[in-house]
Chains A and B, each alone.
Chain A
Amino acid sequence: MINLRRYTLIRNIVLVWLSLVLLAAFLLNIPKINILEHTARNLYFHVPMWFTMMAAVFVSAYHSFQVLRSGDIVRDIRALQAARVGAFFGVLGLVTGIVWSKFTWYVGTDVWWNFDPRQSMVSLQLLIYGAYFVLRGALDDPNKRARIAAVYNLFAATTTPFLLYVIPRQMDSLHPGAEGNPAFSEITHPIMRLVFYPAIVGFIGMFWVLYTQRVRTALIKHRVTHDPEL
C-alpha cells in the first residue's frame, strides 16, 4: 500500500534538503531592513509553515472527498493523518509568528498577543480543525465515522483559504499582505527567494514524511484491531 523504497528515498532527500536550507538561511547575506533586521530570515521558517498547512489541507480534503465517493477506510486514515500533521504545522506557524511579532511589532511593550486579524483568523482556523478531531472521537463505528468526518472535513477545508488569506487581507493588520501593508512579492529581495522557495518544498516534504509515518502506523493498527483511529 505504501512504497517503502520510495518513502525511504524521499525521506533521505528531505532531510539533506532541509539541512542545506537551514545552512543557507543563516549563511547567505540579506539586505538590511529597518525593524526586521535579521528576523527577515524568519521568512524561510515561519511562512513555509503556512504553505505546508495549506498543502496538508488539500491532501486531507482530497482524501475526504474520496471517502465520500468510495467509503474506503484507508482514505479516511489518510484524511485524518494529513489533517493532524497539517494542524501541527499550523500551531508551529502560529507560535513562531507570536515570537516574531513580539520582537518586531510589539518591541518595547509588554504585548505578546494583540488580536491582530491575521492571528485571530488562523486561531479560529485551528479551532475548526480541533473540532474535527473531537467529532471523530465522538463516533464509534469506523465506517460511519469516516463518512461524517469526511463531510465536516470538507467544510473545514473550504473555510481555510478565506480565514488564512482572504479575510485578513481586507482588514487593518500589521502583517504583510494586509490593507496598507506591502505583500511578499513587492518587498522580497531575489536572494531571499533563493532560500525561501526551497524551504517551502523542504517543509512540505517534511510534512509528507511525518504524514506517511503516521499512515503506516494507522494501517497496521487497522489490520490488527479493525479500528484505524490513531
Chain B
Amino acid sequence: MAEQWAERPDDEIAASPRAGRRRSKPAPAARHSGAVALLLVVLPLVGALGDEAMGPGLGLLFQLCAVLGTAGAAALATRAGWWWVLAAPPVVVLVAWAGGELLGDSAKYQGSKALATGSVRWLVHGFPVMAESIIAALVVIVVRIMLEKRNRRG
C-alpha cells in the first residue's frame, strides 16, 4: 500500500521536467510514502498502546495521535494517495482500538459474549475518532488544493 501513497497523478508526472529520471531518483512525494504510512497507521497504534499503558481504556492520547496522524498523512501524501488517507481511519481506528484493549485488558474480553460486547464498544467509542480523523484529513486536503490553485495563479 505504501507504494500507492507514492503514486502520482498523470498530470504531475507528465508536467514534471524530471519525468524521465523518476526511476533512478524517487520523486519527493514517493520519498514521503514511508512517513505517510507511519503517520496514518503507526502513530494511532502507538497512541492506543500509550493510552492503555497509562490506564484501562483509550482516551485523549489515542484520539490526538489518530487525528494528527491522519492530518499529517494528508499533508504529505500525493493526490492519488489521498484515496488511501481518507479510507484508512475507520479501519485503523477500529484495529488500534481493538488491539489496544485486547493487549491492555485481555481479561475483560474472555468469552464470545464479552468479545461481542467489546466490539460494539469499540465501534461506538471509535466513531467520533474516525469522524474527526476523516474531517481533519479533508480540511488538510481542501487547504492543499486551495494553496495549489493560488500558487498556479500566482
Tell me if chain B binds chain A: no
